[in-house]
Each structure stands twice: as C-alpha cells, then as structure tokens.
Amino acid sequence: MIRGIDVSSHQSTSFSTDGLSFVFIKATEGRSYVNPKMTAQVKRARDGGCVVGFYHFLWPGNIAAQAAYFVSKAPEKAGDLLAVDWEWTGEHTAASNGEKDRFIREVKRLRPSHRVLLYTNRDFWLNRDVTSYAGDGLWIADYVTAGKPRIQADWTIHQHTSTPLDKNVADFEDEDELRDWATP
C-alpha cells in the first residue's frame, strides 16, 4: 500500500510530502465555495511529486449545477483524480444516495478522461448507501488500522486517521501503479 493525505482550507499550505504518493485537496463545496488555499496546496503536492486529487463536498439538491461547478474550479490535468465527499453537512443534511450517484455520473460525463471516486465514511457506506455505486473507486473513512477498513466491499483508498492530518493508504503496490490507474 502507498500513503497519502487529504487537505482543505483548515490545513496549512506547507504540509510535508515526504513519504507520500498522493494528496487530495478540497476544491469546492455546494455551488459557491472554493478552497482559498487550493492553488498553494496543489503546488505543494505537485512540487513533492505526488499524484493529485480534488474533491467536492456534496450538498443536497442542484446536483448537475454542483458537478459543473466542481469541474469548472478543479484543475484539469491528465492523471489527476476527482472525488465526491458524501457525508453530513454542517446543517446535518446530506445528499441522498441517488443524488450521490447522479453527481458521480455527471462528473464522469464532464471529465471522461479522469477517475472519479466516492469518499464516504463507514456509517454512510453501511447505512445510507443502497446502490454501492462508487464510480471508479471507493475511498472509505474508518479510523482503524491502516488498510483494514471494517467493510466487505472492495476499496481503493482508506482514510484511517485524522490526527494530525487526514491520513490515507491506497491499495496499490507503488506510486507507478497508482499513476497508471489514474490515467484511464
């Protein structure tokens, strides 16, 4: 397995990339928010030689508009990964399972040369997801031993802790295998 992190505006732009193969960066949320640190965080990740991914925090409603907003703000570079973050919002609402599926399909339609993943936590995966649709791969949050999420489904990335950063492992032998997979 290879290691990576994910960051948002809550994290610094000077995170260490030592030992990392990938970095996911929050790009957008809803239809109006753009991470003000995204450009600097992308530069840091690319300068560190990492595979870069972008994620969108999904809100209920206006799914096509949110997908269009996300792809209009996330940089478009071959080999970059895209993901939807499906969990409770700050208002304790959540997009439905159908909205999550539509968002992934719309992003795949808008960016057909990019892999699109679903990020969600174990509770959502086991109790809210009824289709098990994760696009090109499941990125599961479950704070247990790295690489051992408590789910039966195949997973691509496992977020195993949030201390001090969101730390992840990906189910690839090495960074080259991830890069090959990231460019369909």
The superfamily CATH assigns to domain 2-182 is Glycosidases (3.20.20.80)
* Contact yes or no for 120/141 (Cβ under 8 A): yes
What's the whole-model pTM score? 0.97
- Could you tell me whether strands 51-57 and 22-29 are parallel, antiparallel, or unpaired per DSSP bridges? parallel
CA 51 to chain centre: 12
To the nearest 10°, report the CA torsion of 74, 76, 80, 85: 30
Q: Is 90 exceeded by the pLDDT of residue 152?
A: yes
Tens digits of per-residue pLDDT, 103-147? Answer: 999 999 999 999 999 999 999 999 999 999 999 999 999 999 999
Residue type at position 58: L
Average pLDDT value over all residues in the chain: 97
User: pLDDT band for position 151 (50/70/90)?
Assistant: very high
Read off the tokens for 73.
Answer: 């703000």
Give how far Cα 16 sits from Cα of 3, 9, 13, 133, 144, Å.
12, 16, 9, 33, 23
Residues 6 or more apart whose CB falls under 8 angstroms from that of 56 comprise 26, 27, 28, 29, 66, 67, 69, 70, 74, 82, 83, 84, 85, 103, 107
**How confident is the model at residue 184, as a pLDDT?**
84
Tens digits of per-residue pLDDT, 45-82? Answer: 999 999 999 999 999 999 999 999 999 999 999 999 99
Question: Which residue in 184, 153, 114, 116 sits closest to 140, CA to CA?
Answer: 153
Q: Is 90 exceeded by the pLDDT of residue 178?
A: yes
